[in-house]
Amino acid sequence: MRRLKILDYAISSLWRRRFKNLSIIAVFTIMIAVLASILILTHSLRMEAKEILRDAPDVVVQRLSGGRHDLIPVSMAEAIREIPGVGEVTPRYWGYYFDALTGGNYTLIGLEGGGSPSLSMLEGGLPSAVASCAIGSGVASARQLEIGDELVLIDSRNVGVTFDIVGIFVSESDILTNDLVILSNDDLIEFFGLPDGLATDISVQVYNENEVPKVAAKIKRSFPETRPITRDEILRTYDAVFSWRGGMLLTMFFGALLAFCILAWDKATGISAEEKREIGILKAIGWGTGDVLELKFWEGIVISVTSLLLGLILAFVHVFIFDASLFASVVKGWSVLFPDFRVTPHVDLYQIFVLASLTVVPYVASTIFPSWKAAIADPEEVMRS
């Protein structure tokens, strides 16, 4: 009951400076919402990448020339196939296409074997005949295309090439397919004018997952000019890309958090003469040191817990209902085609607890500590100064 009464008084006390305190709650809430959005979004993206890239090629072998990624001789695939433990070895044909019309970059991927079986996230089918293609929904909306329309791309000889659109990937798969244009291998080789016997890179299947590093090392030894990229490395790349330590955004907002702490500290340490007098009055009329500190504790809790909860709710709604749309413009950079972050919600409670303790604890501390000196002094001394 006593605790409840002091809480009640703390709220009356905060309500007296409601403009200031509501502003603090607003700023605090936005800051927590932004930080939590980043944490939740990156965590969800990381989990999603981990799950869906689990079936990426075991090893992708690139050839390096002058330190750059270069086309790789298809004959190398034969040699790799000889390595024990290696299953299917497939030369991959793919490349980038800058679409001057929309200013977007497309990723063109050649596919062997054509149409069947079709994919569940593809409306229509995969290209089976010559001069047909399947496109991502980002490409479709940028060029305003539908199945049955024609996609005209300018090839390396500056000749317009027409592809019939036989399939469009559903927008739920945007995070993988947004900018894709799937052609048959022959069309792609023809379109890019790739020299005979050269592929973009080679994907290698390894039967036993544990042997992947060994196979990769063996490839590297046999073909020193190549760079084998294992699936594990792909996964770790995404782990790093979306790690909470990575990314300028977090650095930026960590800065904002620190700035807020400094603000809170400054606000609180510069305890005003008015507040000091109040503490003196409270002590004079029979409040003890503990009572005054408890009052300050509640004042800090009311502001920080309200902000924390509000911020977390906003973050959830922002990331999972509005697909983190506020971030898109920041994260997007110059990408013309940019998917919605329609991520599978994953929440790391540990991160949330860290966020909570990094925001509530410093705020409460910066509310209590400055009052400490006034609270432990004799009331007469506090009121006199």
Partner 1 sequence: MEGRDRRSGRGDAVINSPDPSLIFTEEATKVYNPRRPDEVCAVDKVTVAVGRGEVVALKGPSGSGKTTLLSLIGCMARPTSGRIVVDGRDVAKLSEEVLTKVRRRKFGFIFQQFNLISDLTVLDNVMLPLYPVDVGPAEMRRRADSILAELGLQDKRARRVRKLSGGEQQRVAVARALINEPEIIIADEPTAHLDQQLSDELMRILEDLNRDGKTVIISTHDALIYNHRIVDRVIAMRDGRVDAGDST
Partner 2 sequence: MILIKARVFLAITVIQVIVLAGLFTWSMSVARARTTEEIPQKQELVQRLELTDLAIWTEARYTRHPSQADFFAPFQDGPSSLEHFPAGSVVAAPDRSRVAAADR
- Asked if 383 is part of the footprint of partner 1 (rule: CB under 8 A), the reply reads yes
* Pairing label, strands 59-65, 68-70: antiparallel
Tokens representing 227? Answer: 């760079």
- Asked if 105 is part of the footprint of partner 1 (rule: CB under 8 A), the reply reads no
Site string for partner 2, 343-372 (x = CB under 8 A): -xxxx-------------------------
* Residue 32 or 295 with smaller CB distance to partner 1: 295
Site string for partner 2, 162-201 (x = CB under 8 A): -------x--xxxxxxxxx-x------------------x
Instruction: Give CA torsion, residues 280, 283, 289, 295, to 10 deg.
Output: -80
Residues 317-346 that bind partner 2 (CB under 8 A): 317, 320, 331-339, 344-346
Site string for partner 2, 239-268 (x = CB under 8 A): xxx-x-xxxxx-------------------
Q: In whole angstroms, how close is the CB of 16 to partner 1 at the nearest point?
A: 4
CA torsion sign for 40, 44, 50, 56 is: negative
- Asked if 6 is part of the footprint of partner 1 (rule: CB under 8 A), the reply reads yes
Tokens representing 342? Answer: 């329609």
Q: What angle do CA 278, 290, 16 make, to 5 degrees?
A: 35
* Residue 3 or 157 with smaller CB distance to partner 1: 3
Cα-only R_g, the chain:
30
Q: Which of 185, 278, 343, 367 forms a contact with partner 1 (CB under 8 A)?
A: 278
Q: In whole angstroms, how close is the CB of 43 to partner 1 at the nearest point?
A: 43
Tokens representing 160? Answer: 């317009």
Tokens representing 81? Answer: 């196939």
- Asked if 22 is part of the footprint of partner 1 (rule: CB under 8 A), the reply reads no
Q: In whole angstroms, how close is the CB of 290 to partner 1 at the nearest point?
A: 8
- Asked if 19 is part of the footprint of partner 1 (rule: CB under 8 A), the reply reads no
- Asked if 305 is part of the footprint of partner 2 (rule: CB under 8 A), the reply reads yes
Which residues does residue 233 pair with via DSSP β-bridges, in sequence order?
A: none
* Residue 84 or 333 with smaller CB distance to partner 2: 333
Tokens representing 265? Answer: 């500290």
Residues 294-323 that bind partner 1 (CB under 8 A): 294
Q: CA 276 → CA 22, 265, 273, 293, 370, distances in Å?
A: 22, 16, 5, 13, 10
Residue reference for tokens 């760079």: 227
Tokens representing 45? Answer: 């993206």
- Asked if 286 is part of the footprint of partner 1 (rule: CB under 8 A), the reply reads yes
User: What is the rounded CA–CA span in Å between residue 204 and residue 214?
Assistant: 13
Residues 106-165 that bind partner 2 (CB under 8 A): 106-107, 109, 111, 119-122, 136, 138
Residues 69-88 that bind partner 2 (CB under 8 A): 69
User: What is the rounded CA–CA span in Å between residue 145 and residue 92?
Assistant: 27
Best CA proximity match to 95, nearest among 194, 170, 228, 173: 194
Q: Which stretches of the chain bind partner 1, using CB under 8 A?
A: 1-2, 5-6, 8-9, 12, 16, 277-278, 280-291, 294, 376, 378-381, 383
